[in-house]
Amino acid sequence: MSSQVISTAGRALTVWSKKPVTVKAATATIGIRGTGAYFEVLPEEVYFCLCYGDALVEAPGMAGKEVQTKHHEQPLLLVQSGGATVAKPGPFRNHKDDELVMLESLCGREPPFMKDGTYPANKY
């Protein structure tokens, strides 16, 4: 798997092709494939929204969590608790579908939610 690394603090909205990629965000490692994703790496937590696609979230002391979404259904907050990382449901925050549409257009693609009739949506 190729690797992309996000530092211990920062934010990124990204799109990837079907080629497997690993993102290391603070204490979590996220394997992604054919996705759009948003990350916020903060001192107290890692926020991860798999906007669409498939991912495997792994961290010390945490069983791997497979995530599959079509349109922002499962944002996660990854927090430290007793020496282990815990994945909790999180809110949708700080990114927009219009940004994903623009990023995918730079790659000559459309995000899947444009094809299923859920875009444009006021929610995202």
pLDDT at res. 73: 92
Determine the 3-state secondary structure of 1 from DSSP.
coil
96 and 53 Cβ atoms separated by less than 8 Å: no
Residue pair 14/36 in contact (Cβ under 8 Å)? The answer is yes
Q: Given 1.20.120.420, 2.40.320.10, 2.40.50.100, 2.60.120.1440, which CATH number is that of 2-115? A: 2.60.120.1440
Tens of pLDDT, residues 72-114: 999 999 998 888 888 899 999 999 999 999 999 998 998 888 8
Residue type, 25: A
Mean pLDDT of the chain: 84
Terminal-to-terminal C-alpha distance of the chain? 31
pTM (2 d.p.): 0.84
Q: Name the nearest CA neighbour of 45 among 72, 71, 13, 75.
A: 75
Domain boundaries, the chain: 2-115
DSSP classification of residue 108: T
Residue 113, strand partner residues: none
Which residue, chain included where needed, has tokens 């939610």?
A: 113
Q: How many residues does the chain have?
A: 124
